[in-house]
Amino acid sequence: MSALAQDLEVAELHAPVHYPEGPCPWRGGLLFVEYTRDALVFLHEGVTRDLWSEPGCGPSAVQAAPDGTLWVCAYEARALVQLDPQGHELTRHVADRAGRPLPGPNDLAIAADGTVYFTVSGEFEPEAPAEGAVCRLRPGGVPERVARGLHYANGIALGSAALYATEHFRDRVLRFPLGPGGEVGPGEVHADLSRLAGPRSPLRGPDGIALGPAGELYAAHFACGQLARFDPRGEPLAPIALPLQFPTNVALLPEGGLVVTAFAADAAPHLGALLRIGAS
């Protein structure tokens, strides 16, 4: 059972923001991206500053690597970008090992050895072909697809023995076992969000995810206005209602509790907020 209780307060941490995604605790503050503003932002002691920006790149996630660098999924630029801590670009990947482009890098998780696992989504349409994939980028290497055929691969999280990725338009989370060398085994359904109550929007589905210390899973249930929760076996727990209809991602905070990125309406300018759940 999760340590979070249903009566925990959901409070606004920071607002307004433009289509926020990919929260990542960093240097005593919080990194996040603003998709419609093409910016990587650092929030520290209530003050924000842009750390990196590229017109038209549409960033969807950021993670800090063990070596101190930052990795950004530039969704619209179809690129996985590595930055130094000051926001200067170091490397950029735009194709996999076979030379195929990366159709919408969306979210990422980084292992202790620096291996980057990330999703590429394909087209964000319920009737589009299932072209999503999970990719692996070993240090000094090039991306390689390790799972294919996902109907809009979206969020991703790394556990001690498995990789978890959301299949947005099938409304579920998949679990991929990991071998000792980072080999990715066949995926199986871990959590079925289609069983949960909530609006039946065509855009409904799990976006970003996070794993808790006891193996519990949190999923930002896009277009549903809630944070879905599952026990370590993938059985549903009562979701946490949110004040914004479109949650995009979730992360654990080092001081306890969670941070959720979300926006109010699926229309420009996609104004939203960073929400804190639990400990402050």
Is the pLDDT confidence value at 22 over 70? yes
Structure tokens at 238: 């009562």
In the Cβ-directed half-sphere of 125, how many Cα atoms lie within 13 Å?
A: 4
Is the pLDDT confidence value at 8 over 80? no
**174-186 pLDDT tens trace:** 999 999 888 999 9
Question: What is the rounded distance in angstroms from the CA atom of residue 38 to the CA atom of residue 279?
Answer: 30
Is the pLDDT confidence value at 1 over 60? no
Confidence band of 255 (pLDDT split at 50, 70, 90)? very high
Class for the domain spanning 26-247:
mainly beta
144 CB contacts (<8 Å, ≥6 apart)?
96, 97, 135, 136, 137
Q: Which residue has the higher pLDDT, 81 or 1?
A: 81
Amino acid at 264: A
Structure tokens at 95: 């194709």
Instruction: Quote the pLDDT of residue 5.
Output: 41
pTM of the complete model: 0.95
Structure tokens at 62: 């950021």
Task: State the chain's mean pLDDT as an integer.
Answer: 95
Question: What is the rounded distance in angstroms from the CA atom of residue 121 to the CA atom of residue 76?
Answer: 11
Instruction: Quote the pLDDT of residue 280.
Output: 62
Question: What is the rounded distance in angstroms from the CA atom of residue 82 to the CA atom of residue 65?
Answer: 10
In the Cβ-directed half-sphere of 220, how many Cα atoms lie within 13 Å?
A: 34
Is the pLDDT confidence value at 6 over 60? no
Q: Where are the domains of the chain?
A: 26-247
Rounded mean pLDDT of 275-280? 86
* Pairing state between β 246-252 and 236-241: unpaired
Question: What is the rounded distance in angstroms from the CA atom of residue 46 to the CA atom of residue 153?
Answer: 33
